[in-house]
């Protein structure tokens, strides 16, 4: 249910810069021209690293400066600080006002969204006492995500992306209110909850597709990896706080109603911020619209092995190594509590990884990096399935979350830098289908496997299968394995 925030501005009528775009910073003596080292209204540069405004050493006073030993120690300390700064999260995209507003909107809505995403399966399990029904919630959301994610992406390549994001977000907010009402009325219908999940998934698919197409329009291409890292980090902070809050709320009297109410209130902040976005229209209208435009997007991907593999490894990771549908059963039967920690653990690891993610944008062999990250995810998930104490499971899930942050940044960056603007809505629609639909298929797979076999096979056995398939695919597809980008963010290998 994340939406994009922003400021009001005159409608955009052409491919020129957006108000607040990095190419039109007021106060600069010369146009920004995509140079990520210039800040608005200031001659200060980001020369020394991603998180500092000026790393140039201060001038030494004349006539002294300490002993050689002192100078050596200072030099060593300075070198350590420089390495730490280079490893820290790259905040240069925050110099772009439009991106700051988008990031703030995501953070405002993600906490409430995650509260609802945890509350729904917990409520379904409380009503049905079956992991299979929890898995069916994933299936209920999958079909709308596929249909509306693809079609919504095609619409985003034609209409004002701000308005499309706003209307689809309103649908998602209305579903949250409906979940609150059915709980207050004591309906106790799993079928009704599943129907509401389907509608909510459709609205979220459209808004996510639209939001993903906005980012590369407001951030220079060289800063797209850093912008994606910040977006994922802020989202994961919400993914930590939301499940922890849900774990507390659902244990209170009328806990389900409280949880849905918190989401409804928090989401109003995101709706307000979306209202203030400027008009963002596609630079060039696609030659064909509707279903034909969707087919053009699929054809665009089919001829690019790098894009195909980036989607393939994500599908393997989410469908085969996503144990979320098993958390209610494991929390109830193995750990006797801790549902909030289980749902938060992956996000905790992602947040920690995001805080020391400055190196991500400097990696050039992105195909190899993505493969290593997904393999790390699968191994950590498999080991977590064998844990017999809550805190060991949480620690291993957090390790998986760190790997997931890295893989998510590279997947999104590869997609955004491959696609021209007139294709980005459709590319983000397909991306939304994979990243949102994949976990729902994973929920269905996990619930069905647990019902037919054991939790251990459904959790750890399937995760190891993911590792094998990803390694085999990376070895078989040479363009993906050798995919490299240059320092400016452009690709140097197909």
Q: What is the pLDDT of residues 224-242, one digit of tens each?
A: 778 888 887 888 788 778 8
How many other C-beta atoms lie within 10 A of the C-beta of residue 27? 8
Q: Tell whether the model's pLDDT for residue 404 goes beyond 80.
A: yes
Return the closest-CA partner of residue 42 out of 58, 31, 27. 27
* pLDDT tens per residue, range 241-251: 888 899 899 98
pLDDT at residue 38, as a whole number: 34
For residues 208-215, give the mean pLDDT. Answer: 80
- On whether the CB atoms of residues 313 and 145 are closer than 8 A, the answer is no
CB 466 within 8 A of CB 315: no
pLDDT of 243-281, one tens digit each?
Answer: 889 989 998 999 999 999 999 988 887 887 777 777 888
Ramachandran area for residue 88 (φ above 0: left; ψ -120 to 50: alpha; else beta): beta
Least confident of 37-41, 273-277, 322-326, 341-345: 37-41
Q: Are 135 and 237 in contact (CB under 8 A)?
A: no
Residue ranges of alpha helices (H) inside 50-89 are 68-87
Residue spans of alpha helices (H) in 387-492:
390-418, 421-452, 455-456, 462-476, 478-481
Checking 237-240 for CB contacts under 8 A at 24+ apart, the result is 237/107, 237/110, 237/347, 237/351, 238/106, 238/107, 238/109, 238/110, 238/111, 238/113, 238/114, 238/347, 239/110, 239/114, 239/344, 239/346, 239/347, 239/350, 240/344, 240/347, 240/348, 240/351
Cα distances from 46 to residues 21, 43, 58, 65, 316, in angstroms, run 18, 10, 15, 26, 38
Q: Which of 61-70, 221-230, 456-465 has the lowest mean pLDDT?
A: 61-70
**Residue 215 near residue 99, CB atoms below 8 Å:** yes
Whether residue 238 contacts residue 343, with contact meaning beta carbons closer than 8 Å, is answered with no
Q: Which residue has the tokens 């249910």?
A: 1
**DSSP class of 458:** I
CA R_g for the chain: 23
């Amino acid at each position: 249910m994340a939406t994009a925030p922003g400021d009001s501005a005159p409608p955009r009528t052409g491919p020129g810069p957006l108000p607040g775009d990095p190419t039109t910073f007021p106060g600069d003596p010369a146009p920004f021209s995509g140079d990520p080292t210039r800040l608005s209204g200031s001659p200060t540069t980001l020369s020394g690293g991603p998180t500092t405004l000026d790393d140039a050493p201060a001038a030494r006073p004349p006539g002294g400066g300490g002993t050689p030993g002192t100078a050596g120690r200072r030099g060593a300390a300075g070198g350590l600080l420089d390495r730490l700064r280079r490893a820290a999260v790259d905040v240069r995209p925050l110099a772009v006002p439009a991106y700051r507003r988008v990031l703030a909107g995501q953070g405002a809505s993600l906490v409430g969204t995650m509260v609802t995403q945890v509350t729904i399966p917990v409520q379904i399990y409380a009503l049905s006492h079956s992991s299979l029904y929890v898995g069916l919630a994933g299936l209920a959301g999958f079909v709308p995500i596929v249909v509306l994610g693809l079609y919504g992406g095609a619409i985003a390549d034609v209409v004002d992306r701000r308005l499309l994001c706003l209307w689809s977000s309103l649908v998602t907010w209305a579903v949250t209110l409906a979940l609150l009402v059915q709980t207050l009325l004591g309906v106790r219908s799993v079928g009704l909850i599943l129907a509401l999940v389907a509608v909510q998934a459709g609205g979220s698919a459209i808004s996510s597709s639209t939001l993903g197409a906005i980012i590369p329009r407001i951030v220079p291409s060289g800063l797209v990896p850093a912008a994606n890292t910040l977006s994922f980090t802020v989202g994961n902070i919400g993914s930590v706080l939301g499940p922890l809050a849900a774990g507390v709320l659902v244990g209170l009297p009328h806990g389900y109603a409280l949880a849905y109410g918190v989401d409804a209130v928090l989401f109003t902040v995101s709706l307000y911020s979306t209202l203030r976005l400027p008009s963002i229209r596609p630079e060039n209208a696609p030659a064909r619209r509707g279903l034909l435009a969707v087919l053009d997007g699929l054809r665009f991907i089919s001829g690019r092995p790098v894009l195909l593999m980036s989607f393939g490894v994500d599908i393997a990771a989410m469908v085969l190594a996503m144990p979320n549908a098993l958390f209610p059963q494991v929390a109830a039967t193995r750990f006797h509590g801790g549902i909030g920690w289980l749902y938060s653990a992956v996000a905790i690891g992602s947040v920690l990884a995001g805080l020391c993610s400055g190196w991500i944008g400097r990696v050039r062999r992105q195909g190899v990096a993505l493969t290593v990250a997904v393999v790390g995810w699968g191994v950590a998930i498999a080991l977590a399935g064998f844990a017999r104490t809550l805190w060991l499971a949480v620690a291993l899930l957090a390790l998986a979350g760190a790997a997931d942050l890295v893989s998510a940044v590279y997947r999104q960056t590869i997609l955004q830098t491959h696609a021209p603007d007139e294709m980005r809505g459709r590319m983000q629609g397909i991306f939304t289908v994979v990243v949102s639909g994949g976990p729902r298929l994973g929920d269905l797979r996990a619930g069905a496997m647990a019902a037919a076999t054991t939790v251990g096979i459904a959790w750890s056995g399937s995760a190891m299968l993911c590792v094998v398939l990803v390694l085999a695919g990376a070895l078989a597809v040479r363009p993906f394995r050798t995919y490299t980008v240059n320092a400016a963010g452009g690709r140097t290998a197909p």
